[in-house]
Amino acid sequence: MLYLHVHPSDSRDLRFWPTSPASFRQSIDAYSSETKSLALCLFEFMAKAVGAKPESLLDLFEEQPRGLRMAYYPPCRQADKVMGLSPHSDAGGLTLLLEINNVQGLQIKKDGKWFSIDAPNGALIANIGDTLEILSNGKFRSVEHRAVINPNKERISAALFHYPSENMVISPLPEFVKDGKVKYRSISYLDFMKQIFTQQLDGKNRVEVLKLDQ
């Protein structure tokens, strides 16, 4: 697994960036800026879809950090006995995931059951993250997902994470709380991230504990 901070550029630690192929950095720059444009369109449409001002989300994500996690999952004959990536939800706002060599492996949990995602070749899969769930006061829900292993084929995926500012306090935005009921406790983004790096991946636990009783 290779995780790179791609934006802002001064957050890059180039010691960990592959030097071969020579075009690597340029390709990542292009990919990151194209996926950013797409993510901003999605933020805009999502806000509009629930009657909120697009700027409410765009202003929070436009110039914020982005990270790219590339994962290589080798095949395993006993694929049903191993797990590629444990169940979790992504912490940031929105993730755009690409199954690079078109081998399927992503599953999402819905109503207690796991479903395989059969995305067309080259499609980007948009995953809502916990931060967007809280900011939108639950209008958009982060999705619990995991990666399973293929018995015969290797699999490579690339997830581009769109994060909010690390100085922000995550709490439901007024634009999304027009019915007056705040459904989540606030948490500083740094505290939220600290939990991620100090706890095991465990489904949607981190966001569930922030839910206020209704």
Ligand X SMILES: O=C(O)CCC(=O)C(=O)O
Contact residues: ligand X, CB under 6 A: 69, 71, 85, 90, 97, 105-106, 145, 147, 157, 159
Give the nearest distance from C-beta 159 to Fe ion in angstroms: 6
Give the nearest distance from C-beta 122 to ligand X in angstroms: 15
**Phi and psi at residue 202, in whole multiples of 5°?**
-150, 75
Say how many Å lie between the first and final Cα of the chain, rounded. Answer: 40
Give the nearest distance from C-beta 193 to ligand X in angstroms: 14
Closer residue to ligand X (CB): 5 or 69: 69
Q: For residue 189, which of 65, 84, 96, 26 has the smallest C-alpha distance?
A: 65
Spatial separation of the C-alpha atoms in residues 23 and 112, rounded to whole Å: 43
Closer residue to Fe ion (CB): 133 or 175: 133
- Secondary structure of residue 158 in the 3-state scheme: strand
Closer residue to ligand X (CB): 60 or 96: 96
Closer residue to ligand X (CB): 93 or 172: 93
Q: How many other CB atoms are there within 10 angstroms of residue 37's CB atom?
A: 9
Residue 90 interacting with Fe ion (CB under 5 A): yes
Give the nearest distance from C-beta 213 to ligand X in angstroms: 29
Q: For residue 66, which of 44, 34, 41 has the smallest C-alpha distance?
A: 34
